[in-house]
Amino acid sequence: MKVKQLIAAALLLLGFCINAYANPILTDLPASTYVTKDGLDWTWASPVNEESWISNTLYAPSLHDGWRFATDAELAQAPTLADFDNGAIQSVAYWNSFFTHVDKIDLASGFYASTWGHAYYETLYVRDTIDIPEPQSLALLGLGLLGLIGAVHRKA
């Protein structure tokens, strides 16, 4: 009986000592996890900039539809720490297997990249802004189509 209790205690202790890994969230990113600037949606994806770093896997931007690495020209116009609401706007849980935080000092100091290769840099991903027509624009389009249909019927 003591052997079973010893084994159970050892397994329980082992469970507390092992790091937990989580899969990234695979749903679409909510608007609260990115900022829009100059026609691009920007997301703060990770506190590291390596695909595999210690116990973390940073997934490619293509894990979520439409997201991609920023070009150098785009990265030169990246949002600031203030734009990301001092780190409150971020999406680490959507791209990482282990990390859940961002390093504000790194972003504020200019230590960020988009393509991988800078272990201690923050990672930013981008996507082209999705334009959703405003209700007024849709109403105007609808009225225009009705007018066109009326004009065709009148000629017939």
Question: What is the average pLDDT value for the chain, to the nearest integer?
Answer: 86
Provide CB contacts within 8 A for 124, sequence distance 6+: 42, 43, 44, 45, 70, 75, 78, 79, 112, 113, 114
**Which uninterrupted H or E stretch holds 145?**
helix 135-155
pLDDT at 25 over 60: yes
Tens digit of each residue's pLDDT (9 = 90 or more) over 76-103: 999 999 999 999 999 999 999 999 999 9
Instruction: Report the DSSP beta bridge partners of residue 43.
Output: 125
The pLDDT value recorded for residue 127 is 97
Query: Sign of the C-alpha dihedral, residues 42, 56, 121, 60?
Result: negative
The pLDDT value recorded for residue 148 is 77
Least confident segment among 16-25, 26-35, 59-68, 129-138:
16-25
Tokens of 14: 């082992």
Q: What percent of the chain has pLDDT over 70?
A: 80
Strand-pair category, 122-128 with 112-113: parallel
The pLDDT value recorded for residue 6 is 61
Tens digit of each residue's pLDDT (9 = 90 or more) over 104-120: 999 999 999 999 998 88
Answering whether pTM is above 0.85, one says: no
The pLDDT value recorded for residue 144 is 78
At residue 11 the predicted structure's pLDDT band, cuts being 50, 70 and 90, is low
